[in-house]
Amino acid sequence: MAKTKVKTTFFCNNCGAQFPKWVGKCSSCNQWNTIAEEIIARPDKNDIKATFNIVRNSKPQLLEDIKIADIPRIKLPGTELNRVLGGGLVPGSLVLFGGDPGIGKSTLMLQMSLRLKGHKTLYVSGEESEQQIKMRAERIGNKNPDCYILTETSTQNIFHHIKELNPDVLIIDSIQTLTTATIDSSPGSISQVRECTAELMKYAKETNTPVFLIGHITKDGNIAGPKILEHMVDVVLQFEGDRNHIYRLLRAAKNRFGSTNELGIYEMHGEGLKEVSNPSDILISNKDETLSGSAIAATMEGNRPLLIEIQSLVSTAAYGTPQRSSTGFDLRRLNMLLAVLEKRCGFRLAQKDVFLNIAGGIKVDDPAIDLAVISAILSSSEDIAVPPTACFASEVGLSGELRPVSRIDQRVMEAEKLGFDKIFVSKHNKKGMAKLDHKIEVIFVGKVEEVFQNLFG
């Protein structure tokens, strides 16, 4: 009698490498403790033969002879999603859309399918029932006569329906709930996620249909499933934000069809997500009141200038070791700026608690924010308010020198547009500036101390 033995194998969670037995360290990506056991089915012998029979009709071509047909992109409703995707949705692209639970991934995708008039959309959900989706659609309140809903988790069944329906855009909510019959392991496991993605990729490329895959993320912010998933897809979008705030940020972590430094901003309301077209207005809380400890930074997010408020609180440390805490700003960078203030400018902050907060729950990587951070800290420490009509755009170096930042003209223009009358920038930015006769007073400074003499006298 033939023995029926379940065949299992071991996969690395991080890179997807396969091992015959468990090991502590993945020899392919050198990560520890990432190997997990999974049940797999032995592929059918006929299948193996079939894969060897593929007729390849590709042939090498001269790069010079290849013509770029202008890729006709599908214009999605609203400007934010289009911009983050690099100017619209490319047909045949596979987009992975990740984010924390409850952040609004399903809402954004359903909203998009309901507003995409003139295109047949299929929203496949493995997480919610038709009634739940209908209730959500009622809240969002848009109607697309060509929006179809399917609640199904088996890829074979999904493809069966797709063949009949032939949608223009396919949305899968979520990739971790899908299963394919070719593999025995449970939904959400590494091999299932990889196989289902591969099947959907094949579908997207062969039929030139764009596919959105909603993906869960793990507690350290990576997309759940093998890292290889991110290599397979064309675009990786991330939806982030603080659940206690209404703002949601959409970024591209990878984009084969455009830049990755664009940012889309949404507000979550009772009736779905609303786009924010002028973010600077909402990120500056109160321009009329003068309170110490706040300063405005002129930053850039991708190609878009953004003025944001930095708040700081400096108080005498109650316990031995002073606390340093920051939200939205790198803590190591904060410690470095504090050291610069201590050593180069003679401010005694070693015995003080320093708290830093960026308004709206936004995370900023732009180094031009440094000068505003320092100004907010000193304003709180000295308890003198920074004039509410002044803003800052400069990086601070280790010797307290102010370093030039990119796209200075755009930053100055945005500050002028929002009614600021002073902007502090590095003197090294002067020669790169296109026009110097702004209505706003541009103050060129070389060192941190000069800024403080100017501000606090």
Residue 143 annotated as binding site: no
Report how far residue 427's alpha carbon sits from residue 447's, in angstroms, rounded to the nearest whole number: 9
Tokens, residue 53: 């029979």
Report how far residue 457's alpha carbon sits from residue 132's, in angstroms, rounded to the nearest whole number: 61
Residue 202 annotated as binding site: no
Of residues 106 and 238, the one with the C-beta less far from Mg ion: 106
Residue 265 annotated as binding site: no
The full DSSP string for 233-253 is: SSEEEEEE--TTSSEEEEEEE
The 8-class DSSP code of residue 397 comes to: -
Please, are residues 71 and 84 in contact by the beta-carbon 8 Å criterion? no
Report how far residue 314's alpha carbon sits from residue 184's, in angstroms, rounded to the nearest whole number: 58
Residue 277 annotated as binding site: no
Residue 106 annotated as binding site: yes
* Sign of the C-alpha dihedral computed for residues 151, 143, 170 and 264 taken in this order: negative
Report how far residue 129's alpha carbon sits from residue 124's, in angstroms, rounded to the nearest whole number: 10
> Minimal distance in Å, beta carbon 133 to ligand TYD?
10
Residues 49-88 vs Mg ion: string with x where CB under 5 A?
----------------------------------------
Residues 96-115 that bind ligand TYD (CB under 6 A): 99, 101-107
Closest to 311 measured CA to CA, from 376, 363, 391: 376
Please, are residues 191 and 141 in contact by the beta-carbon 8 Å criterion? no
> Minimal distance in Å, beta carbon 325 to ligand TYD?
27
> Minimal distance in Å, beta carbon 266 to Mg ion?
15
Which residue bears the tokens 């309901």? 114
Degrees, nearest 5: CA angle 5-195-228: 115
The count of chain residues that interact with ligand TYD, using the rule CB under 6 A, is 15
The count of chain residues that interact with Mg ion, using the rule CB under 5 A, is 1
Residue 104 annotated as binding site: yes
Of residues 121 and 311, the one with the C-beta less far from ligand TYD: 121
Sequence-distant (≥ 6) Cβ neighbours of residue 385 within 8 angstroms: 290, 291, 292, 294, 379
Residue 346 annotated as binding site: no
Of residues 97 and 329, the one with the C-beta less far from Mg ion: 97
Length of the chain: 457
Could you say whether residue 271 binds ligand TYD (CB under 6 A)? yes
Of residues 151 and 410, the one with the C-beta less far from ligand TYD: 151
> Minimal distance in Å, beta carbon 252 to ligand TYD?
17
Could you say whether residue 380 binds Mg ion (CB under 5 A)? no
Could you say whether residue 106 binds Mg ion (CB under 5 A)? yes
Could you say whether residue 270 binds ligand TYD (CB under 6 A)? yes
Which residues of the chain form contacts with ligand TYD (CB under 6 A)?
Answer: 99, 101-107, 136, 139-140, 268, 270-272
Give residues in contact with Mg ion (CB under 5 A). 106
